[in-house]
Amino acid sequence: MKTDEALDFVRAVQPEQAYRIHDGQINTRGLGSLSCRIADACGGCYCWLPPGSSAR
């Protein structure tokens, strides 16, 4: 799924919280940029989880 498609989905569903997964091949600079873009587009429901962490 492309990032824009994921953002469209989050906007349509309007979840209380959204997490991105399968981002292991994105470098640190890309993660920072992408996280900011997603957080802005999702209206604050997005949270990046570092590897090994849990949403619970």
Of 29, 30, 31, the residue nearest 51 (C-alpha) = 31
Q: What is the pLDDT of residues 1-51, one digit of tens each?
A: 788 888 898 889 988 888 877 777 778 888 888 888 888 888 878 888 877
pTM of the model: 0.63
Instruction: Tell me the CA distances in angstroms from 7 to 1, 52, 53, 55, one per residue in order.
Output: 10, 24, 23, 19
How buried is residue 46: exposed, middle or buried, by Cβ count under 10 Å (0-12/13-18/19+)? buried
Can you tell me the distance from the alpha carbon of 35 to that of 50, in angstroms, rounded to the nearest whole number? 12
Report the alpha-carbon angle 41-15-10, nearest 5: 40
